[in-house]
């Protein structure tokens, strides 16, 4: 059921593998860097609440960046599994092929553009905080 040619699939695998390696390096660098920042923050007693606040913001930012990178790594791993199961490039919602151009722009895409837009509309408020 794969609509992609072997050349197209190989091209997408190469893009994903390169991105995967780059993400692994970024996560490693972020962890090393955040560890060093943490050591510096712990070693220095904040002189005022602004210093403590800035330290918290930097720590939260590092965690958010690492979390985003790990999420993308998991998306690539899931796409690799879809390749193994011969369902890569097939929309999870409607079963139609996902356009090669979309996959080149976003190799881990799980949905065709139409279904992705519907999904985003349906779940747009899910990540929006409410009071």
The residues with which 90 forms a beta bridge, in sequence order, are 97
129 lies in a domain?
no
Which CATH number characterizes residue 108's domain?
1.20.120.910
Any residues with CB less than 8 A from the CB of 65 and at least 6 apart, and which? 30
Residue 78 lies in a domain: yes
**Residue 8: pLDDT band by 50, 70, 90 thresholds?**
very high
pLDDT tens-digit series, residues 69-109? 999 999 999 999 999 999 999 999 999 999 999 999 999 99
Integer-rounded Cα radius of gyration of the chain: 20
Distance CA 65, CA 72 (A): 11
What range does the domain containing 89 cover? 6-122
More confident residue, 29 or 81: 81
């Amino acid at each position: 059921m794969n609509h992609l040619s072997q050349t197209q699939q190989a091209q997408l695998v190469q893009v994903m593998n390169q991105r995967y390696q780059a993400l692994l390096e970024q996560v490693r660098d972020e962890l090393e860097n955040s560890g060093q920042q943490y050591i510096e923050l712990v070693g220095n007693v904040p002189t005022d609440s602004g210093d403590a606040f800035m330290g918290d913001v930097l720590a939260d930012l590092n965690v958010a960046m690492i979390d985003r990178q790990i999420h993308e790594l998991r998306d690539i791993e899931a796409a690799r599994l879809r390749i193994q199961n011969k369902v890569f490039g097939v929309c999870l919602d409607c079963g139609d092929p996902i356009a090669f151009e979309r996959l080149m722009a976003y190799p881990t895409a799980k949905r065709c553009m139409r279904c992705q837009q519907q999904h985003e509309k349906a779940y747009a408020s899910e990540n929006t905080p409410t009071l």
